[in-house]
Structure 1
Amino acid sequence: MGREVHVGGPDDGDEGRPAVPDTAVRLFVGPANFAGQGYLWARAVERSVPDVSAVSFAPHVPGAFDFPVDYLVPQATYLDDFEFHERLLAYVRGQFTHVLFEAARPLFGRSYGLNFLTESKLLTRAGLAVAVIAHGTDVRLPSRHAAAYDYSPFRGDLVPETPLLEDRAARNIARIDAFSGPAFVSTPDLLLDLPEATWCPVVVDVDRWHTDVPPMQRKVPVVVHAPSKSHVKGTDLVETALADLVARGAIEYRRIEGVPAAEMTRVYTEADIVLDQFRLGSYGVAACEAMAAGRVVVGNVSDLVREHATSVGAGELPIIQADGSDLASVIESIIDDPTTARTRAADGLGYVRAVHDGSISAGILRNFLEEGQQ
């Protein structure tokens, strides 16, 4: 699409409102855009589904990383500017045919009680087709996760805010269960919490992450771990497991935090092995980006997630399996057999191109987008 893309600093609301092309289907996506996913799903359906245009929307949260988004407003405007909410509602009702709510969050701030379900009914009455997509902590019920995964971060006191997360997830699940439209999840592990939902894979710009620099060429490989939340991603397990390898000089370990998304291509290009997460039992955007960069990716991925990943027909998920008890020996085996490791890295790139370039996600969303267009 030819519209201007806003990256970074918030606009002042209405002046940044994108024009909407005159297509048969016009999709409004928001208001989360976690890891740029709202924007990337919007671009995916535009590329893959005929006669569709899409606009992604999100508030600008001070201090958060900036990802591409079509329509950005200040957080205070999003939450508490009720006149803006009225104008945004008129824009959505007047310009769009479909709305995809992200993370069970409301589009119109506090105007309707911070309740996406109330807003969905308002939009449905106006003739729009509405769906919801869950991202992660919005529906991941800590009590259920702790019962299902031995390494769950919700066991013990690793995550002090667990009671708050439990309450929020339970509330969102109840609202989605009461929701009449389609429900999607961005990662397969969330099907434990929303079994009636459909997996709509996260999307990465594969070409952006491509590098011709192969992994596992150094005598001492660079091992990168870039946790968004260290206690959730299992950084304690990683650093305990790798302590001896680091002390012996067998690896160069880099823990990456606070690096803007735009600089992560350099971080992964300089890596040989990327350690994803070891407590959630799943994989997401970060692992896909590392695979797209052709790195050897290691993580703790549950059998359930691996089965769903394989079910799309692109082969087995190429993330090398390890947990807190065997991570050191897995890294040693990668070092001992770099040729096999490079083959696994190439498989990862192929998998991401097949599953996470947006084409499958657009196909999943297509039935929803064709609703009301017959």
Structure 2
Amino acid sequence: MPRPPRRPVERGKDALRSVLRAALAVTPGALVSRMVDPAQRFDPGHPSPAIDLPRDAPVRLLVAPTNSAGQGWAWARAAERLDGVVARAMQIDMNRFARFPADQSVTRGEYRWSRRWQRAQRRAVLAGATHVLLESASPLFGDPHRRDVRGELRRLRRAGVEVALLFHGSDIRSPSRHRARAEWSPFGPEGWDQTAALERVTAENAALVEEVDLPVFVSTPDLLVDLPEAQWLPVVVDPDRWATTRAPFVDRERPLIVHIPSRTIVKGTDLIDPVLHGLAAEGLIDYRSITGLSNDEMVAAYGEADIVVDQLRLGIYGVAACEAMAAGRVVVSHVDEQVRGVVERECGEALPVIEATATTLESVVRDIVADPARATERASAGPEFVRAHHDGARSADALRSFLGFV
């Protein structure tokens, strides 16, 4: 697949960025730090330490640089279940409300503009890593390669570093392909305002995949539609952290339903809220639609809920659904047949998520309230499903071949 053509305005912006980078390359770091957006300022004299990759381990894996939803760190820990593997996860700290653990965290300003940090990071990775899991086709070494990681990939391979590409979702999910197959896709004409940009990014990343001929992993089964040659690398959650002793519907007059979207337009909050607020107004349920929670606050919110409604637009299940299943909640979401088919084939059991769509959500919730015992039985399968398939063991197995284990 050739790289998609860029529009004249995009080519103009690229040319302007190239001129700016060339100028910044010969500008002292102290001056650069004062020139950039105040939110991206950094200390040019005291860069953050480069990544530490112990040389005594036979396999040294770096997962970087996005750590989306904390999964880079979780996959690094999963990889360390394999004998002889030391893994590190790096992230760009975007100052978001949801903070996730990482072995290395650098500010966006330092990542983009600090040449001292970039040089030190490059030396550390090229000399210390045996394997790199590159997330979202994003540069490892900062802004100079932001538009194109091909140069970085060539440099890593010349240094003998094995590289695989890893995609999380909107970095490879084609909006036009999703819209064609999903009735409630967020990428429709009145949908997400980022659709056009995502169409370009996903096309560029798909072209990169075809060009570089590297192993490819995806974090959710739906992405196999966009990358059939990829391998599913299941997301990882800590079952013990999300576990709760309270069963759904116990000691409560009305069940509590929560919906905690990371992105409201992608999760279909506009489809969910009217239905559930209506049922709450009837007195059938209690309902909370919440945004902006930290990860610790999510644990408490799921523990208090009886039912979690995840999403109605994408047709997938990911980290949030796994966390809700691990908490033993009744999980309601739209998960399409392709995803459920992959789960049954790869895991040998059905996904314990109750199906609902924009047109069936109300009736699904009414049925659950009318027969909570049946829903509770479905929810009881959630913790074991997560422990069997999303605690890191299956993810370690998925990485085994890439990391050189037969």
Stretch of structure 1 that moved more, 177-186 or 34-43: 177-186
CA contact (8 A) 1:89 1:108 kept: yes
Task: Select 2:83's aligned residue among 46, 50, 57.
Answer: 50
Task: Select 1:311's aligned residue among 338, 342, 345.
Answer: 345
In the alignment, which residue of structure 2 is the partner of 1:103?
136
Distance 2:148 2:50 in 1: 25
Amino acid at match of 1:69: A
4+ residue runs over 6 A deviation: none
In the alignment, which residue of structure 2 is the partner of 1:118?
151
CA contact (8 A) 2:53 2:88 kept: no
Distance 1:244 1:84 in 2: 53
In the alignment, which residue of structure 2 is the partner of 1:220?
254
Does residue 218 of structure 2 align to residue 185 of structure 1?
Answer: yes
Distance 1:178 1:15 in 2: 33
Distance 1:283 1:29 in 2: 22
Evaluate the alpha carbon distance shift between residue 334 and residue 297 of structure 1 in structure 2; reply closer, same or farther with a 3 A threshold: same
Amino acid at match of 2:152: E
Does residue 241 of structure 2 align to residue 203 of structure 1?
Answer: no
Residue 294 of structure 1 aligns to a residue whose secondary structure is coil
Distance 2:213 2:360 in 1: 44
CA contact (8 A) 1:187 1:199 kept: yes
Which whole-Å deviations, capped at 9, do the CAs of 1:323-358 have from their partners, x for residues lacking one? 010101101111111111111111111111111111
How far does residue 219 in structure 1 lie from its aligned partner after superposition? 2.1
CA contact (8 A) 2:47 2:116 kept: no
How far does residue 46 in structure 1 lie from its aligned partner after superposition? 0.5
How far does residue 13 in structure 1 lie from its aligned partner after superposition? 4.5
Evaluate the alpha carbon distance shift between residue 180 and residue 13 of structure 1 in structure 2; reply closer, same or farther with a 3 A threshold: farther
CA contact (8 A) 1:31 1:101 kept: yes
Amino acid at match of 1:186: S
How far does residue 67 in structure 1 lie from its aligned partner after superposition? 0.1
Does residue 166 of structure 2 align to residue 138 of structure 1?
Answer: no
CA contact (8 A) 1:25 1:51 kept: yes
Distance 1:89 1:40 in 2: 23
Task: Select 2:64's aligned residue among 27, 30, 43.
Answer: 30
CA contact (8 A) 1:241 1:324 kept: no
Does residue 268 of structure 2 align to residue 258 of structure 1?
Answer: no
Q: What percent of counterpart residues are identical?
A: 46
How far does residue 180 in structure 1 lie from its aligned partner after superposition? 2.2
Residue 368 of structure 2 aligns to a residue whose secondary structure is helix
Gaps of 5+ in 2: 1-41
Which whole-Å deviations, capped at 9, do the CAs of 1:289-327 have from their partners, x for residues lacking one? 000011000000010000011112341001000001010
Residue 115 of structure 1 aligns to a residue whose secondary structure is coil
Distance 2:195 2:110 in 1: 29
In the alignment, which residue of structure 1 is the partner of 2:119?
86
CA contact (8 A) 1:312 1:355 kept: no
Evaluate the alpha carbon distance shift between residue 131 and residue 280 of structure 1 in structure 2; reply closer, same or farther with a 3 A threshold: same
Distance 1:21 1:315 in 2: 41
Distance 2:97 2:139 in 1: 19
Amino acid at match of 1:73: V
In the alignment, which residue of structure 2 is the partner of 1:320?
354
How far does residue 122 in structure 1 lie from its aligned partner after superposition? 0.9
Residue 401 of structure 2 aligns to a residue whose secondary structure is helix
1:334-373 residue pairs with structure 2 within 5 A? Answer: 334-370=368-404
How far does residue 206 in structure 1 lie from its aligned partner after superposition? 0.9
Distance 1:314 1:236 in 2: 34
Distance 1:64 1:194 in 2: 31
CA contact (8 A) 1:216 1:341 kept: no
Distance 2:112 2:48 in 1: 15
Amino acid at match of 2:122: L
Amino acid at match of 2:278: D
Amino acid at match of 1:59: I
Distance 2:201 2:160 in 1: 29
Task: Select 1:170's aligned residue among 203, 207, 225.
Answer: 203
In the alignment, which residue of structure 2 is the partner of 1:127?
160
Instruction: Provide the aligned C-alpha RMSD in A.
Output: 1.6
TM-score (norm 2): 0.86
Does residue 275 of structure 2 align to residue 241 of structure 1?
Answer: yes
How far does residue 236 in structure 1 lie from its aligned partner after superposition? 1.0
Which whole-Å deviations, capped at 9, do the CAs of 1:174-200 have from their partners, x for residues lacking one? 111212220010001111111111111
Residue 298 of structure 2 aligns to a residue whose secondary structure is helix
Residue 308 of structure 2 aligns to a residue whose secondary structure is strand
Which whole-Å deviations, capped at 9, do the CAs of 1:145-202 have from their partners, x for residues lacking one? 0001001011122211211111111111111121222001000111111111111111
Distance 1:40 1:269 in 2: 22
**Greater CA radius of gyration, 1 or 2?**
2
How far does residue 64 in structure 1 lie from its aligned partner after superposition? 4.2
How far does residue 226 in structure 1 lie from its aligned partner after superposition? 0.4
TM-score (norm 1): 0.93
How far does residue 87 in structure 1 lie from its aligned partner after superposition? 0.9
Residue 184 of structure 1 aligns to a residue whose secondary structure is strand
Aligned residues: 362
In the alignment, which residue of structure 1 is the partner of 2:312?
278
